[in-house]
Structure 1
Amino acid sequence: MEKQKILIVDDDVNMLAAYKRKLSFSYQIEVAQNGVLGLQVLERKGPFPVVISDFRMPKMDGLAFLSKTKTICPDTVRIMLTGHADLNTAIAAVNDGHVFKLLIKPCAPDTLKHSIEQAIRQFDLVQSERILLEETLKGSIHVLSDLLSLTNPIAFKQASRLKRYVQHMAVVTGLDDIWQFEVAALLSNIGCIALHPEILVNIYAGNLVSEEEKAMYARHPEVGQKLLEKIPRLELVARMIGKQNEKFRDIGSSYKSENEKRVAMGAQLICVARDFDQLIAEGEEKENALEQMKKNQGRYNPELVQALHSFDLEIGDFITRTIEIDELEIDMIIADDIRSKNGLLLVNKGQHVTLPIIERLKSFHRGVGLDNPIRILCTG
């Protein structure tokens, strides 16, 4: 079993040598003689499950070092050693350094080792909870996406395109943690789950719709936000979706927090992607569509519109292949609209295959019937 990595920071060279001698049998020990050097070790060799720091050190004291450690490696468990354990030090250690344990020097080797073991268990617990939450979140996103693909395939197909546009704009403009923007785009139409698919067909085609249908469609971002805002870690995504109709000039440029700034950017990414997609659907060439959007000053973030100039609208180097229904696999791309024998549209051309789609097609194949084999797109 691989030894756990521990970083110890102390300006006392003799203490560092003693720590290394006593703990190297059980752990992989890295040392640094001050906070500045400790941060360099973190950057080069991190992350570490546990970091131990002395309180009083030159250049950067233990509190400052552990505070920066939390920023760089938020899951790392922090322990502080001090020979000056007054109340103020303890309060600062908890509030500023977010320490797991505060130990008094000189610290007995058994006490230190016991504290390290507790810290490692805490680190493992945090990691397990993070993995569980991430897997739960991924599962929730897949369920919602699959549900939209079944109930409103047109909205799902558009959302899949929006995700591609948003991903491209985010990369070109150098945005960080783009997963939130991608998820916001993929679920931007989740509020359409309550709409009849025919309403979306008419809206996307530019056909006349009633005032009531327009109002229903206009409410879908609000509906989507309410559906998602209670899911852990999707709070910001929900707000991005809820604000997707807001104009760039209305959002403003002064934000109370980084989260507000991120929500505004996510909302604009969806807005730009959606309106660009609509213009393309109406038959506009890419460059003409982007020029039209640039003229609509105040509605769009100009940097995002500019980023779409380098987007390749072509689906890529794909060839068509004919397969049986039973050969369908998740993430294949449907080459032609699939309808049942009685004319019901089941899957749109260009849609990515999901597990619910496979089950639905098999069910119709056994019952009403559908054309089989079918054509899919695949790389050559």
Structure 2
Amino acid sequence: MENILLVDDEQNVLNGYRRSLRGRFEVDTALSAAEAFEKIDRHGAYPVVISDMRMPNMNGVEFLARLKERHPDTVRVLLTGNSDQATAVQAINRGDVFRFLNKPCPPDELGATVATAIEHHRLLKVERDLLENTVKGAVATLVELLSLVRPEVLGQTMRLREQLRHLDVASLAGVEPWTLETAVLLSQLGYTTLSESLVARAQSGRAAGPREQQQIEGAVALSFKLIRRIPRLDQVAEIVRYQEKNFDGTGWPNDEVGGSAIPAGARCLKVLLDFDRRLNDGATREQALADLQRHPDRYDPAVLDALAKRLCAGEDGSERLVTVHALTDRMVLVDDVVTQTGVLLIPKGMRASDSVQAHLQRFHASGQIEEFVKVFESE
């Protein structure tokens, strides 16, 4: 039985609605928008929320608009009097409200509307899940292709994903974990157009000349352009676009965006990128963090605090040598895997996914790499 939320500042009205829906739906109630948000925070998103228009402190249109920002999949219904219909129509036109009902609302009409809203929510969820799985498959394919075409580019991408595990994302407002991880995986896509030496310079953070810097910026811009063509990755594209933007608004893109106006995920990615560059240059994690903390103009302090919090918690695990046939996806390569002719096969920092395992085993079978590799395995 689906659970819905009714919001009205009159207890008698709520009691009446609950009685009319009894036996068909599980009904929670709230006497104000504030109480409704408290229940949503405790319960999680409801499939359907029905709100009265006229309530103190926050009216129904404003409440449902804010609810849409926080839980866009929740189907929102507005109860209105005759004098409020113009406002209700505007809310529907903006997409804040699925349907509005006149007060007093007959029980049969209320029940039919709830049933329709629940079915609409189910269809939205099915469509979203199908599209997200399609997008995830597309992202996985791009990452696999990157591993074959430019392993040195993928190396930093995989290290960034590992560094993401050291970031307390849950404590950061506006950061959705899947969106940020996808942005991390695709952030270096445009680097496939750069030479190996320029990729190495970009990944180390060493100063580049004007022409080289222009090429690096062009590669980031290309990543943005490619990603925004993929459905549902608009937010990912914006994160990638602003990945090198300093918190004070300097850097590139050269625009007026700065501070909290920079996408939250981009502020995280900026920290992860520069943290990885310090590690890649030989610093310990503690030294890398301290270096970033010395530049408050470049980084969101909340992101640095989240990184520091996670690093202080430490990480359980150990390094050891294993054969390429004993690798598991819980292991991360500690060193670059290089062929006997000096060609980089798999860069350090990559997790030993199924494709990485198969790749290493093929090259070992042909006698081009050693049997043992050094890995870090989490406990």
Corresponding position of 2:109: 111
Distance 1:261 1:117, change over 3 A: same
C-alpha distance in structure 2 between counterparts of 1:308 and 1:44, whole Å: 27
Q: Is the 8 A contact 1:335 1:350 kept in 2?
A: yes
Q: Is the 8 A contact 2:73 2:125 kept in 1?
A: yes
- Show the 5 A alignment for 1:177-192: 177=175, 179=177, 180-192=179-191
Q: Is the 8 A contact 2:205 2:277 kept in 1?
A: no
Q: Is the 8 A contact 2:147 2:154 kept in 1?
A: yes
What displacement does 1:225 show? 1.8
Cα deviation 1:269-297 (Å, max 9, x = unaligned): 54454444444434456676667667778
Corresponding position of 1:133: 131
Distance 1:107 1:212, change over 3 A: closer
1:281 and 2:280 correspond: yes
Q: Is the 8 A contact 1:332 1:376 kept in 2?
A: yes
Match of 1:74 among 72, 85, 88: 72
SS of alignment partner, residue 155 of structure 1: helix
What displacement does 1:268 show? 5.2
State which drifts further: 101-110 or 212-221.
212-221
C-alpha distance in structure 1 between counterparts of 2:50 and 2:300, whole Å: 46
SS of alignment partner, residue 262 of structure 2: helix
What displacement does 1:30 show? 2.3
C-alpha distance in structure 2 between counterparts of 1:207 and 1:57, whole Å: 58
1:161 and 2:166 correspond: no
C-alpha distance in structure 2 between counterparts of 1:315 and 1:57, whole Å: 49
Corresponding position of 2:118: 120
Distance 1:246 1:99, change over 3 A: closer
Corresponding position of 1:330: 329
State which drifts further: 188-197 or 360-369.
360-369
C-alpha distance in structure 2 between counterparts of 1:233 and 1:250, whole Å: 27
Q: Is the 8 A contact 1:150 1:357 kept in 2?
A: no
Corresponding position of 1:230: 229
Aligned residue type for 1:334? L
C-alpha distance in structure 2 between counterparts of 1:214 and 1:36, whole Å: 50
What displacement does 1:76 show? 1.9
- Show the 5 A alignment for 1:302-313: 311=311
C-alpha distance in structure 1 between counterparts of 2:228 and 2:315, whole Å: 33
What displacement does 1:120 show? 0.6
Greater Cα radius of gyration, structure 1 or 2? 1
Distance 1:319 1:103, change over 3 A: same
- Show the 5 A alignment for 1:1-380: 3-11=1-9, 13-57=11-55, 61-84=59-82, 87-95=85-93, 98-165=96-163, 168=166, 171=169, 174-177=172-175, 179=177, 180-197=179-196, 200-201=199-200, 216-217=215-216, 219-251=218-250, 261-263=261-263, 266-267=265-266, 269-284=268-283, 311=311, 317-325=317-325, 327-340=326-339, 344-367=343-366, 370-372=369-371, 374-379=373-378
Q: Is the 8 A contact 2:204 2:278 kept in 1?
A: no
C-alpha distance in structure 1 between counterparts of 2:270 and 2:88, whole Å: 49
Aligned residue type for 1:351? M
C-alpha distance in structure 2 between counterparts of 1:260 and 1:318, whole Å: 38
Q: Which ranges in structure 1 are unaligned for 5 or more consecutive residues? A: none
SS of alignment partner, residue 140 of structure 1: helix
Q: Is the 8 A contact 1:271 1:300 kept in 2?
A: yes
Q: TM-score of the superposition, structure 1-length normalised?
A: 0.75
What displacement does 1:260 show? 7.5
Q: Is the 8 A contact 1:323 1:376 kept in 2?
A: no
Q: Is the 8 A contact 1:330 1:353 kept in 2?
A: yes
State which drifts further: 286-295 or 23-32.
286-295
C-alpha distance in structure 2 between counterparts of 1:231 and 1:208, whole Å: 33
C-alpha distance in structure 1 between counterparts of 2:87 and 2:103, whole Å: 14
What displacement does 1:353 show? 1.7
Q: TM-score of the superposition, structure 2-length normalised?
A: 0.75
Cα deviation 1:28-66 (Å, max 9, x = unaligned): 122345555444444444532222233445665443443
Q: Is the 8 A contact 1:47 1:76 kept in 2?
A: yes
Distance 1:225 1:147, change over 3 A: same
C-alpha distance in structure 2 between counterparts of 1:300 and 1:14, whole Å: 52
Count of paired positions: 374
Q: Which ranges in structure 2 are unaligned for 5 or more consecutive residues? A: none
What displacement does 1:172 show? 10
What displacement does 1:84 show? 1.6
C-alpha distance in structure 2 between counterparts of 1:276 and 1:13, whole Å: 54
C-alpha distance in structure 2 between counterparts of 1:213 and 1:37, whole Å: 56
